[in-house]
Amino acid sequence: MMRVLGIETSCDETGVAVYDDEQGLLSHTLYSQVKLHADYGGVVPELASRDHVRKIVPLVKQALADANCTLDDIYGVAYTKGPGLVGALLVGACMGRALAYSWDKPAIGVHHMEGHLLAPMLEDDVPAFPFLALLVSGGHSMLVAVEGIGKYEVLGESVDDAAGEAFDKTAKLMGLDYPGGPRLAKLAAKGESGHYRFPRPMTDKPGLNFSFSGLKTFAANTIAAESDDEQTRANIALAFEEAVVDTLSIKCRRALKQTGYKNLVIAGGVSANTRLRSSLAEMMTSLGGKVYYPRGEFCTDNGAMIAYAGLQRLKAGQTDDLGVKGIPRWPLDTLPPV
Ligand code: KG4
Ligand code: ZN
């Protein structure tokens, strides 16, 4: 039996969880700083760091209590080492390292996007390797060929805004509060299709990279040219959402063809989007494959995915030394295999 405490603090969510390799997820706690940052229209890094400091100890205590765990039951500690906001990362890294040191247990710094990538493994029906992963979050959009844990080839990524960032910026233009992605999706649900057509960026030439910053400009121009009534706004939101979903679907199809893989994993905050999920599910059915994604609460940032990813690496004997490190930029394909 191996049990790992996982800590996530890379952005504006403090998440702590306990994962057991035989019994699965034993507990998970999450505190979202959304209200704190809402007045500023986005995450304020210094406020984020301070709020993680305020919440981390009570959340660790709660996660251990909920899992009915004592110190003796914990094999090791996993914390998010990067990528993310450096101050926020350091809070989780200090906590993880300090606990491991005082408990005399091993600790490992986890790559945040590896956490997202492996989050579907927290569910009952898990994908078999190899698979294609579409990682779409607030900070990253990537297509990754996954042959095993740590065996990652990044096939394509965004050359400018990430998919979630495009949602958030467009939502802001439409006067929706931060975080705009889910709010824009809610507005789009009331929209009627066919009134506007946004471009599908970089789909007419070969390649697997994305570019989403042009959609935001297109949205700004459309909003300025049209009236401000609720139905028009909903129609514009829908047209934007359709363009993002369509673009991601086209690139997934292309990457599946290129790799020959039959399984698709979608993860990261934007994978909570219901239109994206159903579009990709439909596509995979037509291709004779299958799509896997985490439950809604594990699409966005959480401690469970960090505990899971950390456990896999600790199990393989990988640990980090005593240095407390936060790595703001960290290419996914530099990770060692397990
Ligand atoms: O993975 P995540 O929680 O944090 C990062 O690692 O960035 O992703 C957050 C992003 C935000 O941009 C948020 O607007 C977006 O995911 N998001 C959504 C939805 N839920 C969250 N975007 C579109 N539709 C949603 N339902
Ligand atoms: Zn994330």
pLDDT of residue 179: 87
pLDDT of residue 177: 92
The residue among 306, 6, 337, 307 whose CA lies nearest residue 149 is: 337
| Tokens found for residue 244 | 């993002």
Calculate mean pLDDT across residues 77-81.
Answer: 98
Task: Indicate the residue type of 115.
Answer: G
Give, for ligand 1, the residue of 270, 271, 329 to mutate: max count of ligand atoms closer than 8 Å to Cβ: 270
Q: Of the ligands numbered here, which is closest to the C-alpha atom of 42?
A: 1
Angle at the Cα of 66 from the Cα atoms of 65 and 67, rounded to 5 degrees: 90
Q: What is the pLDDT of residues 254-287, one digit of tens each?
A: 999 999 999 999 999 999 999 999 999 999 999 9
283 CA distance to ligand 1 middle (Å): 22
Average pLDDT value for the chain: 97
CA distance 310 to 298: 16
Q: What is the pLDDT of residues 20-31, one digit of tens each?
A: 999 999 999 999
269 CA distance to ligand 2 middle (Å): 6
From residue 69, alpha-carbon distances to 26, 57, 62, 224 in Å are: 9, 16, 10, 56
Answer yes or no: pTM beyond 0.95.
yes
Q: What is the pLDDT of residues 183-219, one digit of tens each?
A: 999 999 999 999 999 999 999 999 999 999 999 999 9
Cβ–ligand 1 contact at 84 (below 6 Å)? no
pLDDT band at residue 49 under the 50/70/90 scheme:
very high
Burial of residue 105 (CB within 10 Å: 0-12, 13-18, 19+) is middle
Q: What is the pLDDT of residues 279-315, one digit of tens each?
A: 999 999 999 999 999 999 999 999 999 999 999 999 9
